[in-house]
Structure 1
Amino acid sequence: MIKLADVEKSYGAGEAKTEVLKGVSLEIGRGDLVAMIGQSGSGKSTLLNIIGGLDEADSGSVEVAGLDYARTSESDMARVRNHEIGFIFQAFNLLDHLDCLGNVTLPGAFSDDEGSDAEERGRKALERVGLGQLARRRPSELSGGQKQRVAIARALFNRPRLLLCDEPTGNLDRDTGREVIEFFKELNRDDGVTLLIVTHEARVSEAADRIIKIEDGVIIDDSHRKDAGQ
C-alpha cells in the first residue's frame, strides 16, 4: 500500500536549511494499522503529508496504492488524494456555514464523478460513525467528539483504502478519544482500511499492530505489537 525509499526533505537554504527527513525507507501493507510516534519536530507529520501527496519529497521515491508519485500527473495526484486517501487531523476543519451532511459531502465537490448519490453516501458515512440523526446540525451545535466523528465521516465519503491521521485524538478528552480509537480499529478490522496514525499518545499507539518511532528525521524503531516494548 505504501512504499518509501530513501526519502529526504528539508526546508530553507544555506545556514537556515533544516533537514526534516533523512533517508527514510518504509513499507506498509494493505490492511495494516500503524502508529507513528515521535517528539514534536521529529518529522512524523512531514512524512505523513508526503505520503498523502500534500507535500513533495526532495529526493527518494514515494509509492502509494501502486502509483509512483514522481511519475504521476497532477490530475492523477488529485484523484489519489480525493479517492484513495482520507485525511483526519487534530483540528476538525469543519465549515460552520454548512451542516454535518454538507461538510461530509464536501469532497464530492472536487470529484468528477460526484453523481446524484452524494447525499445518500454522505448520510451513510454519518450513520457509519453513529451520527445519522445529526445530519442537519451545524458544527457549532456539536461536542468535540461529535465534530471529530463528522471529520471522520468526511474522510470516509469517497470510500478510501487508506486513512492518514495526524493527532486525531489531540483535542479530545480521554473517554471520547478512546471511542475514536475503537472506531479506527473497527474500520481496520471490518472494512480492511489501512490506517497510519501519527500520535504522541500511548493510548493511541497501543491500539496499533505496529509502532514506528521517528527521531530527528530518522526511523529509529519499527516494532510489531508482539515485540513492541521488548
Structure 2
Amino acid sequence: MKLCEMERNVLIIFYLVMVAGNVLSVSAAKNIEKNTVGRYGHLNILIEDLQSLEWGEEEVPCLTLLVKILQNVQNSTLWATWIWDSMQTPVGHLYGSRNNFGNYDECLEFPWEKVHPDLRTQYCMAHIHLAEVESDINDVDFFGNVRNYIRAKTKYHQKFNTLRWGVCTPVVCKPHSVNKFVGALFRQTHLGLAVTKPHISINHCDIAEDNEVTGDFGFNFFS
C-alpha cells in the first residue's frame, strides 16, 4: 500500500511539472509573439495603410513591390533593408530643418542591379505643404498644439509649414503612386499626428543608371 501511495505521489508530481512546463511554454510563446509585434508594429501598420488605399490597376505592380520591400525589411533581407536604409524620417523640423534628403547615392547605386533588374529603384523628391502661415511665432502657446507652431513664422520670416522628403521607391512606381507612399510614410511620423491632410507633390524622380554590380564595395554581393 505504501508503494502504491508513493507511485501515486510521483505521478501527481510529474503531472504538476508537466502542467507548469506547458504554462511556461505558452507564456514564453506569447512573450515572443508580443515582442515580434512590437518590433514590426510600425511596418505592419504601414503595410496595412498602403493596402487600404485605392490603387488603380496600373499601380498594382508598385504596391506589390512596396509591400514586398517592407516585408523583407521585417526579415532583415539585405536588398530591402538597403532601400529602407537610404531613407530617413524627418528630424529637426521644428528647429528649421526642412530638408530630409536621406541618402541619394545609396538609393541609386545598389549592388544587385545586374542580377535583379526587377528591383531597380528611383530617388524621388516629395514636397510637402503642411499648412498656411497664419500667425507670428511670439503668439504661439508652447503648451498648445504643434499645429499652431507649424502655422507660425519667426521675426526673420522663417517658416515651418513646408518640408522636402527624399524617398527611394521601385522604378515601376509613377509619381502619383509615390505620392501615396509618401502620404503613408508621413502618417507614421510625429508630424503626421498633428497634420492629418498635408498637400504632397512629387516634382521629379531620378532613376538609377546602369551601374556595375561591383564598384567601390570591392566585391560582388551576389557572386
TM above 0.5, one fold?
no
Looking at secondary structure, tell me which structure has more strand per residue. 1
TM-score (norm 2): 0.29
The structure having more radius of gyration, on CA atoms, is 2
